[in-house]
Chains A and B, each alone.
Chain A
Amino acid sequence: MSERYNQGIRIEGLTKRYGAGDTAVDALKGVDMQVAPGEVVGLIGPSGSGKSTLLKCLGAVIEPSAGRMTLGEQIIYEDAWKIPDLRALRRDKIGFVFQAPYLIPFLDVTDNVALLPMLAGRPNAESRKRALELLEALDVGHRARAMPSQLSGGEQQRVAIARALVNRPPVILADEPTAPLDSERALTVIHLLEDMARQFSTAIIVVTHDEKIIPTFKRIYTIRDGRTHEEAGEGR
């Protein structure tokens, strides 16, 4: 693999076993994966194949059983967590986009996005300024004072993407981000993610079932039975 992969995410021989004894489930049996900064890769596979489990391991919300994960030079996991504060890791290094936008209903659009820099200790004014810039870039700047419930599904998803991007994380994990959207909007979201990946040198992993968007990926990882297989996609 080329040099630039050293700066992105690297996963080697990652395994995850749920439970123990007779009822143990080996959800991941040895996953290898690399995503470079600025790259968007697809992760596809049938239901129950371990996609969500892999995202949760990468997102540092569940602990893998063995293997290695690195982010740039930094080893995050090597048979044990190598980082003391996983909460800060999630806040500063990883952006999340979910199937549903999961915006905080009692915060307006700006503060939904600005909350992350605020949590990281940035002043309110600076956080809001950053949020507004991103909202403008994602074409929802005119809804900045609205409450999430007043937004359409597509607008909400764009706000969620702004939230994932606002702390300039090196990694974004997206779990079926286009599922609630029609094909036109789904493609817009993927193009947005690609733009953002390029603009901010973010490594983006998109878990999807969505036939419409699969052709847009340049590289695709297929996960079957807990193991990954890399393929070249149709995207350019």
Chain B
Amino acid sequence: MISLAGRDILHSWGKFVFTGVGLGLLIGVTLTMAGVYRGMVDDAKALLDNSGADLWVVQQDTLGPYAESSSLYDDTYRGILGMKGVARAANITYLNMQVRRTGGEGQQHEQKDVRAMVVGIVPGGPGEPGQPGYLVAGRQITRGHYEAVADIATGFKLGERIRIRRNEYRVVGLTRRMVSSGGDPMVFVPLKDAQEAQFLKDNDAIVRQRARTAENPALNRPGVPGVLDAVLASQSVNPFVNAVLVRIKPGFDPEAVAEPIRRWQRLTVFTRAQMEEILIAKLIATSARQIGMFLVILAIVSAAIVAFIIYTLTLGKIREIAVLKLIGTKNRTIAGMILQQAVGLGLIGFVVGKVAATFWAPFFPKYVLLEAGDAARGFAAVMVICVLASVLAIRAALKVDPAEAIGG
């Protein structure tokens, strides 16, 4: 027996290939949507991996520092360092902002704004939590001020000058795959600078704040001249950080180290597993549902297209189907023919979709991670959709009366 479906596809291959490519682009979009979600999850995991921390110590009763804002005094880490099982503890700040390139060496001084997450780290030896794990160029931050290490995704080059708020920094190192949970590339600066950047107000605001303070009789008491100066001085420093990253000693259980910090330091502590749960289940949950909605709609649209095409192709063959039935073709053979065509269309679509998604994924501004598992699930879904979509056409074909071939 010959393959009726195969012959039909070969005969009208143009129709099949065009429809398959159309369907394929749709499948490509679907795979990419899944890749966007995987990329978000992977970004979140990269953020946690790259922080080099085993525990995140944050403000009590917050989900900081990534999902909620959290603020701790910058001397909190000293108390934590003394706890059992803690190897290292380092302050860290995070600040989402626009970073502007202001100039480079030997190249045209073209200005450029980049959305980035500015991370304040304590310059220290390698292995300090919070430090960029490895560099692709340059060196780590060694000075206490005005040096920066940027992710290559920012587009910054070694030696370029960038502006964060009022200060200029020199890019001394480049790193890669250091991203925020939102996928923005990171720029590392010394902690002190970062604290200042978080806190620093413009001159007008400072003048206004000073005037307000001076007018407050409680803070500017007549006859006690030193108080106002002390208050103003305390207002112009930022003693806060967003979190303390803790590296634990080998052989200790993270939860066992975390519990005493919670109890005795009265802080909230998250382990790596809890942090991952917060990032993935809470922070990107809405985006995931958003993408899920897209996937559902795309699946329905793809199913409708396959159903429509297969149905139209079948209706165009009613006469031939009547003849096939009249000359003794089994219903099963005819149903099989339509089913194989639907599956063939799905196959073409899937291959085109996979190639298209692989081709365009790198051009997306945020990380798109195409997982083999998603491709396999996508393939299964396409096949199921094609089978379901052919049901309508099969029903129409089985209803064809062989007497129609003889006519009136």
A residues whose Cβ falls under 8 Å from a Cβ of B: 52, 55-56, 59, 61-62, 87-88, 90-92, 96, 98-99, 102, 104-107, 111, 115-116, 118-120, 124, 147, 163, 175
Q: Which of B8, B11, B406 contacts A61 (CB 8 A)?
A: B406
Residue-by-residue, is B381-403 near A (CB-CB < 8 Å gives 1, otherwise 0)? 00000000000000000000111
Contact A61 B407 (CB under 8 A): no
Contact B327 A91 (CB under 8 A): yes
- Name the interface residues of B50-101: CB closer than 8 Å to any CB of A: none
Known: A55-B406, A59-B406, A175-B406. A119 touches B7 (CB 8 A): no
Contact B326 A96 (CB under 8 A): yes
**A102 to B333 CA separation, bound complex (whole angstroms):** 19
Contact B11 A119 (CB under 8 A): no
Q: Give chain A nearest CB distance to B408 CB in angstroms.
A: 6
Known: A52-B406, A62-B403. A106 touches B323 (CB 8 A): no
Q: Give chain A nearest CB distance to B113 CB in angstroms.
A: 59
Residue-by-residue, is B1-41 near A (CB-CB < 8 Å gives 1, otherwise 0)? 11010011011100000000000000000000000000000
* Chain B residues with CB under 8 A of A88: 328
Q: Give chain B nearest CB distance to A121 CB in angstroms.
A: 8
Q: Give chain A nearest CB distance to B361 CB in angstroms.
A: 37
Closest A residue, CB atoms, query B321:
A104
Q: Does B295 contact A (CB under 8 A)?
A: no
Known: A61-B401, A124-B1. A104 touches B407 (CB 8 A): no
| Closest 9 pairs (CB-CB, A-B) | A91-B328, A106-B11, A61-B403, A106-B8, A102-B323, A61-B402, A106-B7, A90-B328, A118-B1
Contact B402 A119 (CB under 8 A): no
* Chain A residues with CB under 8 A of B1: 118-119, 124
**A202 to B328 CA separation, bound complex (whole angstroms):** 19
Contact B319 A102 (CB under 8 A): yes
Q: Which of A91, A92, A96, A118 contacts B406 (CB 8 A)?
A: A96
Closest B residue, CB atoms, query A207:
B406
For chain B, what secondary structure do more than half of its interface residues adopt (helix, strand, loop), or is it mixed? helix
**A192 to B336 CA separation, bound complex (whole angstroms):** 36
**A91 to B402 CA separation, bound complex (whole angstroms):** 12
Contact A98 B405 (CB under 8 A): yes
* Chain B residues with CB under 8 A of A59: 326, 403, 406
- Name the interface residues of B305-343: CB closer than 8 Å to any CB of A: 319-320, 323-330, 333
B residues whose Cβ falls under 8 Å from a Cβ of A: 1-2, 4, 7-8, 10-12, 319-320, 323-330, 333, 401-403, 405-408
* Chain B residues with CB under 8 A of A105: 11, 320
Contact B406 A111 (CB under 8 A): no
Q: Give chain A nearest CB distance to B82 CB in angstroms.
A: 82
**A124 to B2 CA separation, bound complex (whole angstroms):** 8
Q: Give chain A nearest CB distance to B402 CB in angstroms.
A: 5
**A62 to B406 CA separation, bound complex (whole angstroms):** 11
* Chain B residues with CB under 8 A of A98: 323, 405-407
Q: Give chain A nearest CB distance to B320 CB in angstroms.
A: 5
**14 sample A-B contacts, Cβ–Cβ < 8 Å, listed by A number:** A52-B406, A52-B407, A61-B406, A87-B330, A91-B327, A91-B328, A98-B407, A99-B407, A102-B319, A107-B7, A111-B2, A119-B1, A124-B1, A175-B407
* Chain B residues with CB under 8 A of A115: 2, 327
Contact B327 A106 (CB under 8 A): no
**A175 to B407 CA separation, bound complex (whole angstroms):** 9
Q: Which of B328, B333, B407, B408 contacts A120 (CB 8 A)?
A: B328
* Chain A residues with CB under 8 A of B319: 102
Further contacts, 5 of them, CB under 8 A, given A87-B325, A106-B4: A90-B328, A96-B327, A98-B405, A106-B10, A175-B406
Q: Give chain B nearest CB distance to A99 CB in angstroms.
A: 7
Known: A52-B406, A61-B402, A98-B406. A163 touches B327 (CB 8 A): yes
**A175 to B324 CA separation, bound complex (whole angstroms):** 17
* Chain A residues with CB under 8 A of B330: 87, 119
Contact A104 B323 (CB under 8 A): yes
Contact B327 A119 (CB under 8 A): yes
Q: Give chain B nearest CB distance to A162 CB in angstroms.
A: 13
Known: A52-B408, A118-B2. A90 touches B327 (CB 8 A): yes
Known: A61-B402, A96-B406. A90 touches B326 (CB 8 A): yes
**A111 to B327 CA separation, bound complex (whole angstroms):** 14
Give the one of B4, B11, B323, B406 with max A CB within 10 A: B406
**A123 to B2 CA separation, bound complex (whole angstroms):** 10
Closest A residue, CB atoms, query B320:
A104
Q: Give chain B nearest CB distance to A125 CB in angstroms.
A: 12
**A147 to B327 CA separation, bound complex (whole angstroms):** 20
